[in-house]
Amino acid sequence: MENELHKNAGVKAFVKGVMNADEQKYNKKLIGWLGPLPKEFREQIEPIINTGVTRDELIKIMKDMNLYDSPSQPKQITTEKEYQPYNKNKNPTEFKVGDVLMHPVFKHPYVLLKDKGDFWICGLLTTETNCKEILEKCQSRFFTDSHFTRVKLTVKEPYGSFMNTYDNKKHLKKVTKKLKQIL
């Protein structure tokens, strides 16, 4: 799956700004540059800029983050795993059981299994076929190569990139019951 970060206008403007700026030293004064960046990327870069960094150091950090191959050419970023494509045309206004989002910390999709009012119970997905924590294979047309893991997590509010919906409600109930028995 292709990560869309290199196509983000905020990232392009940030990389271009760093490359063309007269500043040789970046510090808290340039935090305004971070505004249009995606939240995940902004959270990674902000502490670095807060400590003060030279342009060369910042360019090296961006290269380590795989943002571009050369100063003028943004890099096509890809992930190691092949998750199904994001549903770019459909972003829910309200989350419901079965919605699948990409967790920004774990870098794996998670499924909303149960709404408890003030938090959600979720199940984590993986495409690792030899993972020891696999509970069972997904039975959804949108996540054909994925597996539910034995990881049960809670989130106060669903966050991360919306991917799609898990279209097999019967299977979700079965997985929820299994996770409840295990944990």
Question: Range of 55's domain?
Answer: 5-74
Domain count, the chain: 2
Same domain, 70 and 103: no
pLDDT digits (tens, 9 = 90+) for 99-140: 999 888 888 899 999 999 999 999 999 988 888 999 999 998
Q: In this structure, is residue 84 part of a structural domain? A: no
Same domain, 149 and 112: yes
Q: How far apart are the C-alpha atoms of 65 and 91, rounded to whole Å?
A: 27
Q: In this structure, is residue 93 part of a structural domain? A: no
pLDDT digits (tens, 9 = 90+) for 28-45: 555 566 666 667 777 777
pLDDT digits (tens, 9 = 90+) for 63-77: 776 654 444 444 444
Non-local (6+) Cβ contacts of 93 within 8 A are none
Q: How far apart are the C-alpha atoms of 175 and 109, rounded to whole Å?
A: 15
Q: How far apart are the C-alpha atoms of 102 and 104, rounded to whole Å?
A: 6
Q: In this structure, is residue 122 part of a structural domain? A: yes
CB 143 within 8 A of CB 166: yes
**Mean of the per-residue pLDDT values for the chain?**
76
For position 30, what pLDDT does the model report?
Answer: 57
Q: In this structure, is residue 55 part of a structural domain? A: yes
Q: In this structure, is residue 88 part of a structural domain? A: no
- CATH number, domain with residue 117: 2.30.30
Query: Quick one: average pLDDT of 9-18?
Result: 64
Same domain, 104 and 176: yes
For position 74, what pLDDT does the model report?
Answer: 44
